Amino acid sequence: MARMKFICDSERCIECNGCVTACKAEHDVPWGVNRRRVVTLNDGIPGEKSISVACMHCSDAPCMAVCPVDCFYRTDEGVVLHDKDVCIGCGYCSYACPFGAPQFPSNGTFGLRGKMDKCTFCAGGPEENTSQAEYEKYGRNRLAEGKLPACAEQCSTKALLGGDGDVVADIFRTRVIQRGKGSEVWGWGTAYGKPAGGATPAAPEAAKS
């Protein structure tokens, strides 16, 4: 069984927000809720990078661990979903998620929180697949239709990839090889910088083990 995953290639993202617009249009996401957003790192500085961020459907999801009513569940394809009929809007998942995925629409005055909403990987919810009830609560179930998430399909530069985790990883690995970049992309040189000579510093023996 395929495990669905997202990855965003920061070398390709142009901060067009097409993924954000596609998500909102596809699922009729309420005002004030952003299931997906584009974050720019070092904005305004030469070499800035942008990435598209949403629920990453973690294998060990912290939102699932802290939910006091166990409204979260994981599908056979590894997609983390939740049941809005069980959610009490406590906000614990929002504090636990490192990606800021859980969103809470304001249903009244003074910022009163409603039921939590988040990226579903276009996989709907616990209701019957492609039913009207499912669409009204969670948006369109594209996975049940044999399609990929709308955000990934809409991405004009194919920076945002979504689908079978093994296939996504193979695509990204091929891109890295073709760019002529190897271990330095995510390796020691990226984390700690390179010396003036340009060579990647050797990792200490403790770090290698």
Q: What CA–CA distance (Å, rounded) separates 68 from 197? A: 54
Count of C-beta atoms within a 10 Å radius of residue 59: 11
In a domain, 208, yes or no: no
Spell out where 48-190 has E strands. Answer: 49-53, 72-74, 80-82, 160-164
Q: In angstroms, what CA-CA distances link 90 with 28, 63, 83, 86, 119?
A: 24, 12, 14, 11, 18
Domain range for 165 is 4-179
145, part of any domain: yes
- Establish if 105 belongs to a structural domain: yes
Residue 194 falls within a domain, yes or no?
no
The answer to whether the predicted template modeling score (pTM) of the entire model surpasses 0.75 is yes
Cα–Cα dist 152/144, whole Å: 16
Residue closest to 80 by CA, chosen among 68, 67, 89: 67
Segment 83-92, tens digit of pLDDT: 999 999 889 9
Tell me how far apart the alpha carbons of residues 89 and 94 are, in angstroms, rounded to a whole number. 10
Domain with 10 in it: what CATH number?
3.30.70.20
Q: How many domains does the chain have?
A: 1
Q: What are phi and psi of 22, to 5 degrees?
A: -60, -40
| 203 domain residue, yes or no | no
Residue 63: in which H helix or E strand, if any? helix 62-66
Classify residue 196: in a domain, yes or no. Answer: no
CA dist., res. 34 & res. 112, Å (int):
17
- The answer to whether residue 202 is domain-embedded is no
Establish if 113 belongs to a structural domain.
yes
Q: According to DSSP H, which parts of the chain are helical?
A: 18-27, 62-66, 92-96, 132-138, 150-154, 165-178, 188-192, 205-208
Q: Which residue has the tokens 């890295």?
A: 176
pLDDT in tens, the chain (209 residues): 689 999 999 999 999 999 999 999 999 998 888 999 999 988 888 889 999 999 999 999 999 999 999 999 999 999 999 999 999 988 999 999 999 999 987 665 545 667 899 999 999 999 999 999 999 999 999 999 999 999 999 999 999 999 999 999 999 999 988 887 554 555 555 556 665 555 544 544 544 44
Beta bridge partners of 39: 51
Q: In this predicted structure, what is the pLDDT of residue 207?
A: 44
